[in-house]
Structure 1
């Protein structure tokens, strides 16, 4: 499947139309935290809360949306359809002949708390789930994004971890260390936090 990731400026323009909270996620979130680009990206990720999933259809009203049904099957996502837990990714493109441009990921909540799909015991207030750049781009909190990447770190996840380490403050390092211990017990990143 061909990807041509939308530039962040386009993503921000499209998603700024909705009232629901959203965040740039994945490797771009790490780069926004670090303050500069340092690697190539195969896609661009946007995180929304599952409860706000239909905002994707509002933000990308004229686009095609495809739900990634596990294990690895794409299917059209019908207007107004609510995707159940387990269907966590939506691939979006402007038309059937266009490459994929944006991947939207859905995360869970309970009340005012974000609940990790990796480990439901790892939680955080939704109001503390992200940060915002000086020019107003919302992105997933660095420690949360690193926790998501920690499950099976690929070479690019290791690069992201190393690039983000210098910008993590003590509270962020502690949150990440606690979440890693809670979920994995031991993890190679713990020694560096």
Structure 2
């Protein structure tokens, strides 16, 4: 969710839906999927408007995406609370701490997509916070209407550091079976407040 301070500093985001991302990337040969709140909505089988949309790609395929987007888009590196333009003649050596790329059509336009740079590749999913944690990419994703999404336990594993609210977790729990709950619990700190709720068996 974009804060008012971020909006004042960097500008607002356009409302975009997964179908818009699919249209943007139709014909693109690289790997991509949707993460964040949209992925949770797919698991819960309902859709809500969100302040932005997270497209996830392997970091190693950034050059491929840049070639696909061409001059139609401005790309900005998001790192350590700052933004820096990634100009057409720049190499893919990004500022330290760059976790995502923001896209917009011009300086006068709204931001449209955030592209998260993932350590995964086209075959293997890797957890950004501990790349020793892996699984086949096909096991990490689900598909709806031809669009791939991160499974809810993966979204929650990233969100856990920011969300200590157990009520927030309870909304997503129905989408997690016992195996998914156990996997998520293994990603949490020993004192994380979600652990007790995850220990309850799936209904």
Q: What TM-score do you get using the length of structure 2 for normalisation?
A: 0.80
1:56 aligns with 2:65: yes
- Contact 1:46–1:105 at 8 Å: present in 2 too? yes
1:174 to 157, 171, 182: 182
Checking the alignment, whether the CA contact within 8 Å between 2:30 and 2:65 is kept in structure 1 is no
Aligned length: 185
Larger radius of gyration: 2
8 Å Cα contact 1:5/1:102 also seen in 2:
no
Structure 2: runs of 5 or more not aligned: 1-10, 199-203
TM-score under structure 1 length normalisation: 0.84
Q: Which of 164, 169, 173 pairs up with 2:172? A: 164
Structure 1 segments unaligned to the other structure (5+ residues): none
Residues 164 and 194 in structure 2, CA contact (< 8 A), matched pair in contact too: no
Query: In structure 1, how many angstroms separate the alpha carbons of the residues matched to 2:27 and 2:170?
Result: 34
RMSD: 2.4
- State which of 100, 103, 128 in structure 2 corresponds to 1:92: 103
Counterpart in 1 of 2:7? none
> Are 1:71 and 2:66 an aligned pair?
no
| 1:88-127 → structure 2 map (5 Å cutoff) | 88-109=99-120, 112-127=123-138
In the alignment, is residue 129 of structure 1 matched against residue 140 of structure 2?
yes
